[in-house]
Structure formats: C-alpha cells, structure tokens
Structure 1
C-alpha cells in the first residue's frame, strides 16, 4: 500500500507536468516558475527513486530538492505579487535563508548529506508565508492559483510536522516511524491532486480553444 501511494504521487506529478507544460508552451497561460518547479520536482523525484533502487544514499538529493523548492516556489509567488515591497520581501527572504543554510553547511558539511530538519522547517515555513501573503492579496484581487496555494500551505505544514514528529520519536517502534512516511506519501498525492485541480479549474478551458 505504501508503494501504491508513492507511485500514484509520481503519476499525478507527471500528469501535472504534462498539462502545465502544454498550457505554458502552447497557450502561454501557465506560470514559467511553476512549470519549472514541476519539472524540477519530476527530475528530482525520478533521480531519488533510481538511487533508492540502486541502494545509494540519496539524502543529498533530498536537500537539493528542498532548497530548489524554496527558490522556485518563492520566485513563483514573487512573479504573481503586484506590490514591490512583497516582491522584495520574497527575494530578501530567499537570500537570507540561503546564507543561513550556507553557514550551517560550512560549519558542518555533513548536514548536506543528512536528513536536515532545520533546512526543511526553514524553507517550508518561508514558502508557507509567501502563500499566505498571496491569500491576503486574493481578498482584493482575483483568486489566481487559489488551489495551488491551498496545497502548498496544507502539504508543507503537515509534512514538516510529520518529519519533526518522526525525528523526535526516533526511539519509538519502526512501525510508528513507517506510519509517518505512509501519511506523507498520501499527503503528497493530495498535494499534486490539488495542483491538478487548479489546472482543471483555470487552464483546462484554454486547451479546447
């Protein structure tokens, strides 16, 4: 059952990438940074899966993915913000976060080869803040990328909590820790599903035109 949700997540991500890429290149509708994020996610997920089956340590790819996710989703939100101060906030936040992580890696390079909870928490919370700013903007603006932002807030917050719980309870049974990974795989399917639903609501009508 665990493998089912993992591969279902990969499948939905692939569909997302195909549809958003089509909307970008053929209809010029999809956001370039969001399409780049989906392509980046696809490549990283595929690479991590291959390394896992080859019994290779893929945690450095996890760290690259987490940092890349922050950058690309940050640039995505920056591109749809209208206020200059909000755009500047995103850029400054990303730069500061990268500097903080650079200092951590310089002090202890092995952190880049481990499951880095500090990195996960920092980058996830930043992206959640960007999404919440977008929700605030939607009070007076059009509800563009509404379901994507719901997915971002819900998934990043819940997955971060699951990772933190899993780490804090490392002395508990393997079954309990495995359950947290199972829940995360289900959340990931829901995350990509919301992204697909946003395409259906806002971009699918352009395909028929």
Structure 2
C-alpha cells in the first residue's frame, strides 16, 4: 500500500517526460487553428450580410467583395492544409529519449505561425490589395490614407516573416539539439568511466 501511495503519480509523470503531454495538446491546438481558418470566410460573409452590404452597395463593390471572398476561401483552405500538415510532422519534432522536449514544440509552433502569417500577408494580403486597388481605390482612400504602393510591399513582408520565424525556430531547435546531445554525451562518458572502473577492479582482483 505504501508503494502505491508514493508511486500513483508515476504514470502521469511518465506521460509528461516522454513528450506526449506536450505533443498531443499541441496537435489538437493545430487542429483548432486549422478549423478556425476554414470558418473565417464564413464569419466574414455573415458579418457582411448582417450589415446589408448587398442591399446598398454598388455593383462594382459587390463584385469586389465576391472576388475577395474567393481569395479568402482559397487562403482558408491553404491555411487549413498548412496546419494539418504541420500537425502530422509535430511528432517528428519530439523524440522520447530527449530530455528537453518543450523547446522543440515551441520551435515548431513558432515556425508554423510564421509560415501561416507569411502566407496571409504575402499572398492573400497582396491579392486582396490588388482587388481593392482595382475596384474600390477611391472609397478605400478615405478610410485608409495609405499610398497604394505600400500594399504591393506585402509579398516582401510575408517573405521576411517566414524567414525570421524560421530563423527563430531554428535557434530554439539548435539549443535543444545541443542540450540533448550534451546530455547524451555526458551519459556516455559516465558509462565509459563506470566500465573502466569495473575493468580496473577486475584487474586488481
């Protein structure tokens, strides 16, 4: 009975130590992000309908919104595929024999968030800006007094976001690899020293 009293937390602690405690919730988090991306265009459409946009807007603005909605749907589907693809690869980022587990998970999330944000700003943002510039340049000018040329810098912004997010993620990953390899090397040296001591003891006998 005393043994059970002192060891009943062992299964939970083992679940944490082998990485599943970090990996499984993050996999579900990736699924949630993927589903939210699919629902985003529907949310936008519902808001536009609620505002009676189609009743009062001009024909060219309605056409512009239809094109924007198609772009958003394409971006939502691409984002869904991105999050689901990275969810499937999350398991590869965590090895059960590694002691440092949280760092690779955070690194993987950082990289994925950067890829997703870069996709939206660099691709979806650029396409939406082109549609707005063509169909609603005069209307948007009064709402956002920003030079139209600024919108076409979005591909550069998106690319830089992906690059710097990947850089940050690789720095995290490098720290984890160095720490895990150092730990393994220390264990290997300890085992080698123990074997050497055993050999010396046998020779003394």
TM-score, with structure 1 as normaliser: 0.35
Higher relative contact order (Cα pairs below 8 Å, separated by 6+ residues) = 1
TM-score by length of 2: 0.35
Q: Which of these two proteins has the greater Rg computed from alpha carbons? A: 2
